[in-house]
Amino acid sequence: MVNIAISIWLFPTLIHVGIAIATAASAWVNVALLAVTLALRGHFRLTRHQWLAQLAIVLISLIMGSALWILADRGAHYLDPGVPLWQQLGVLSVIMLFGFVTYFTLAHISGTQRLGMLFRRLRRSK
């Protein structure tokens, strides 16, 4: 319901981007409703450390998103339809790699997710 309402509201101005934003927004509404419901029933409690870790992840994500926004804006002329596909793919690959490195470097430095622990978790899940 939330997804449809936001999609209808945003589609006239943002077209397909409005649908993507509506999907993301409705997912966050779902997360909030589930968290509140579980907390009221006593099934969801975060420690102070966990709250701080979640806050750090949000801040890291905002920093990464801002950096990617600036980088994508600076490289936007390489993504024009007249630019060869291989060059567009190269620019997108660099932007994605930069985002990946930025996020995991900041997560490691902040102590939110140490890279050693991440690699151990990835090995265990195989």
Sequence-distant (6+) residues with CB within 8 A of 70 are: none
What distances in angstroms separate CA 95 from CA 57, 69, 85, 109, one per listed residue? 20, 9, 15, 21
- pLDDT one-digit tens code per residue, 3-53: 999 999 999 999 999 999 999 999 999 999 999 999 999 999 999 999 999
Q: For residues 40 and 30, give the distance between their C-alpha atoms in angstroms, rounded to a whole number.
A: 15
The domain segmentation of the chain, as residue ranges, is 1-45, 46-126
What's the chain's length in residues? 126
- pLDDT one-digit tens code per residue, 41-74: 999 999 999 999 999 999 999 999 999 999 999 9
